């Protein structure tokens, strides 16, 4: 290297100070690397979902898309001057709070949302409102890094089943629907979780939002395109499910399922994308050479000018950010150490008019409570021949891996012969579900959670109660109670459960006595 090209330390600092963009980007890059390292557990879980789950494989493309979106705006962005902006700290605090609440509730979606939200929040802190206005879409689009959508599976199963049965009837095939099960002459079909179409819907939403920004200017056209992106994968998934059932009437279930496995994948999704884009192509109203942002307009905006006056020294902003992040993590660690005292052993109690009998289900059923400190499963019978299964799980705390309301916990184990068929007979405030095994054995299951003064079947209420306890660093145990009964000739499971609940008296004190809490 020629000697004249070597810069002294003072010259390098002067060059860095003369180029505010270089300084801001170096700072931002360093802050982002530090945040990813501090929240490595959350980023690791997200990456595992991107890589391992077909529902989220499309997220692997989102980082490249974000880089491309910034590159499209780069010529205009260079005309704007970045500067630190203290209101960005409010967004940083909000992102930390979301992460803390997720940590308190054992809710990965909130934890991951908070970890991702810290990136655009610190970008606004270090780059300011004008640059933030130029980057608003890429910053918002980073939300698609968070794996979300599994919560929609039950709803999409029911929608797909209703679309499918309507098409089956229109095609002249006799069929009956019961929840997510469709009974036809060729056999019984289940709209399972894998057939809900959630992965195509989530990917289509991500694509639709991207196309709306890149290809459209009119908000009316954007809304119409998003409506198409929402409807197309749902309707197409219903048609696909109908096609499988229709083909099975002529070639048999096994061959029809084989055909379905061939067409049901990203090829199917690509056909849906091509159809949606083909219908919408002529309505694109952004020219290929149109700039994505207008730097002159952003710079002249009086509202942004007022916001830009709220500056902050870089060092002060970084120190407060560090305090917020480390403080939030320390609070979460303190809450993780909470553990309520529990008895060494719990027992299923005596119930007036009922006696304990051997547990012999028609199809083995055992709820899942993988992190519980105590579990009990037993069967009661009365003189009328009614039988009710009682499952109790007791937790000293609700932590990672031991959550009563966690995914796959409760009535329906992912690895069992049982499938969710729909909501069961109402039994407020419990959550009532109807389960089916081997296409013929019906079971009604009713779930209650008890924590402090809370009693009910709502997972959301349970999590809010757990969050409240952790916010106050208060240790209280959680009890999960599942009452269940099989349908048998001459015995209605809903009536058996109602009779059992009347015999126990009020459930809240009954559950507390069973867990030796009060």
Q: What is the pLDDT of residues 125-148, one digit of tens each?
A: 999 999 999 999 999 999 999 999
Domain of 179, in residue numbers: 151-283
Does the residue 415 lie in any domain? yes
The total number of structural domains that make up the chain: 3
For residue 138, what are the contacts with CB-CB under 8 A and spacing of at least 6? 66, 69, 70, 73
User: What is the value of pTM for the model shown?
Assistant: 0.80
Question: Per residue in 34-76, pLDDT tens?
Answer: 999 999 999 999 999 999 988 899 999 999 999 999 999 999 9
Residue 240 has pLDDT above 80, yes or no: yes
pLDDT higher for 58 or 259? 58
Establish if 7 belongs to a structural domain: no
* pLDDT grade for 17, boundaries at 50, 70 and 90: very low
Radius of gyration of the chain (CA): 28
Q: Which of 165-179, 354-368, 456-470 has the highest mean pLDDT?
A: 354-368
Same domain, 506 and 388: yes
In terms of domains, do 487 and 366 share one? yes
Q: Which pLDDT score is estimated for 7? A: 46
- Asked whether residue 123 falls in the same domain as residue 197, the answer is no
Would 426 be classed as within a structural domain? yes
Q: Is the pLDDT of residue 8 over 60?
A: no
Q: List the one residue out of 113, 103, 107, 106 whose CA is nearest residue 330.
A: 103
Per residue in 87-111, pLDDT (tens digit) is: 999 999 999 999 999 888 878 899 9
Q: Assess if residue 485 is contained within a domain.
A: yes
Backbone angles phi, psi at 262, to 5 degrees: -70, -45
Q: What is the mean pLDDT of residues 11-22?
A: 59
Nearest to 111 by CA among 323, 371, 335, 317: 335
pLDDT of 277 reads 93
344 closest CA partner among 515, 498, 116, 510: 515
Domain assignment present for residue 3? The answer is no
**Residue 268 to residue 57: CA distance in whole angstroms:** 15
Three-class DSSP category at 486: strand
- Are 136 and 163 part of one and the same domain? no
Per-residue pLDDT, 261: 58
Integer Cα distance of 439 and 416 in angstroms: 13
Residue 346 lies in a domain: no
Among the listed ranges 9-23, 32-46, 272-286, 324-338, which one has the minimum average pLDDT value? 9-23
* Same domain membership, residue 449 and residue 363: yes
CA 206 to chain centre: 15
The pLDDT of residue 9 is 53
pLDDT of residue 194: 77
Whether 123 and 173 share a structural domain: no
Same domain, 458 and 408: yes
In the 3-class helix/strand/coil scheme, how is 291-342 assigned residue by residue?
CCCCHHHHHHCHHHHHHHCCCCCHHHHHHHHHHHHHHHHHHHHHHHCCCCCC
172 and 249 part of one domain: yes
pLDDT of residue 386: 95
Average pLDDT, integer, range 420-434: 92
- Whether residue 124 is found in the same domain as residue 199: no
pLDDT at residue number 397: 86
Burial pattern 449-484, b for ≥16 Cβ within 10 A else e, equals: bbbeebbbbbbebbbbbbbebbeeeeebbbbbbbbb
pLDDT: which is higher, 257 or 308: 308
Average pLDDT over residues 316-334: 95
Tell me the pLDDT band of 473, cut-offs 50, 70 and 90. confident
pLDDT of residue 494: 95
Q: Which of 343, 328, 409 lies closest to 370 in space, CA to CA?
A: 409
- Residues ≥6 apart with Cβ < 8 Å to 114: 95, 96, 97, 98, 99, 100, 101, 102
pLDDT at position 243 is 86
- Residue 170 binned pLDDT confidence (cut-offs 50, 70, 90): very high
DSSP state at residue 3: G
Average pLDDT value for the chain: 89
In a domain, 294, yes or no: no
User: Using alpha carbons only, what angle is made at residue 76 by residues 70 and 79, rounded to the nearest 5 degrees?
Assistant: 120
Task: Find the DSSP H helices in 171-310.
Answer: 198-215, 219-251, 253-263, 266-280, 295-300, 302-308
Closest CA to 497 of 451, 452, 431, 401: 431
Considering only CA atoms, which of 195, 202, 183, 189 is closest in space to residue 157?
195
pLDDT band at 271 (very low <50, low <70, confident <90, very high): confident
Is residue 348, in this structure, part of any structural domain at all? no
How large is the average pLDDT for residues 198-222?
A: 94
Determine contact, residues 129/120, Cβ cutoff 8 Å: no
Instruction: Answer yes or no: is pLDDT of 218 > 50.
Output: yes
Indicate whether 238 and 387 sit together in one domain.
Answer: no
Residue 24 has pLDDT above 60, yes or no: yes
Please give the pLDDT value at position 256: 62
Closest to 455 (Cα-Cα) out of 434, 481, 433 = 481
Domain-ending residue, one of 250, 283, 316: 283
The pLDDT score that the predictor gives to residue 407 is 77
Residues 134 and 163 in one domain: no
517: pLDDT strictly greater than 50: yes
Provide the pLDDT for residue 15: 45
Nearest to 25 by CA among 70, 58, 56, 69: 70
* 320 shares a domain with 181: no
* Residues 495, 228: Cα–Cα separation, whole Å: 45
């Amino acid at each position: 290297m020629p000697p004249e090209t070597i810069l002294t330390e003072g010259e390098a600092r002067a060059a860095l100070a003369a180029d505010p963009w270089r300084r801001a980007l170096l700072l931002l890059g360093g802050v982002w690397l530090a945040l990813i390292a501090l929240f490595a557990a959350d980023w690791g879980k997200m990456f595992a979902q991107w890589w391992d789950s077909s529902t989220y494989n499309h997220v692997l493309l989102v980082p490249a898309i974000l880089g491309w979106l910034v590159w499209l705006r780069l010529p205009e962005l260079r005309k704007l001057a970045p500067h630190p902006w203290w209101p960005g700290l409010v967004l940083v605090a909000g992102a930390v709070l979301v992460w803390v609440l997720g940590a308190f509730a054992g809710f990965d979606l909130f934890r991951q949302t908070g970890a991702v939200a810290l990136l655009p929040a610190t970008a606004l802190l270090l780059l300011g409102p004008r640059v933030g206005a130029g980057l608003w879409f890429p910053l918002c689009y980073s939300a698609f890094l968070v794996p979300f959508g599994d919560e929609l599976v039950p709803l999409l199963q029911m929608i797909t089943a209703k679309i499918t049965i309507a098409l089956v009837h229109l095609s002249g095939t006799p069929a009956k629907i019961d929840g997510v099960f469709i009974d036809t002459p060729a056999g019984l079909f289940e709209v399972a979780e894998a057939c809900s179409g959630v992965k195509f819907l989530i990917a289509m939403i991500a694509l639709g939002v991207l196309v709306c920004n890149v290809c459209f200017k009119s908000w009316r056209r954007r809304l119409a395109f998003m409506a198409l992106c929402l409807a197309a994968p749902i309707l197409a998934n219903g048609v696909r499910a109908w096609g499988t059932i229709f083909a099975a009437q002529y070639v048999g279930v096994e061959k029809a399922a084989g055909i379905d496995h061939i067409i049901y994948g990203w090829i199917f999704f690509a056909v849906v994308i091509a159809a949606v884009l083909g219908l919408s192509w002529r309505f694109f109203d952004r020219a290929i050479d149109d700039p994505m942002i207008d730097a002159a307009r952003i710079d002249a905006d009086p509202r942004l000018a007022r916001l830009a006056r709220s500056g902050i020294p870089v060092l002060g902003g970084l120190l407060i950010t560090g305090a917020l992040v480390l403080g939030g993590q320390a609070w979460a660690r303190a809450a993780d150490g909470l553990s309520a005292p529990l008895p060494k052993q719990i027992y299923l109690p005596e119930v007036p008019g009922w006696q304990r009998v051997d547990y012999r289900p028609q199809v083995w059923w055992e709820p899942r409570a993988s992190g519980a400190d105590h579990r009990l499963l037993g069967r009661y019978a009365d003189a009328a021949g009614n039988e009710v299964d009682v499952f109790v799980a007791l937790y000293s705390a609700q932590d990672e891996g031991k959550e009563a309301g966690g995914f796959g916990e409760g009535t329906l184990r992912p690895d069992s012969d049982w499938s969710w068929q729909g909501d069961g007979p109402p039994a407020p405030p419990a959550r009532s579900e109807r389960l089916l095994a081997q296409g013929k054995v019906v079971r009604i299951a009713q779930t209650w959670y008890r924590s402090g003064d809370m009693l009910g079947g709502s997972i959301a209420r349970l999590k809010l109660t757990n969050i409240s306890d952790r916010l106050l660093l208060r240790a209280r145990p959680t009890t999960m109670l599942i009452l269940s009964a099989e349908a048998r000739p001459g015995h209605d499971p809903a009536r058996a459960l109602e009779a059992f609940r009347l015999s126990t008296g009020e459930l809240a004190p009954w559950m507390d006595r069973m867990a030796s809490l009060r």
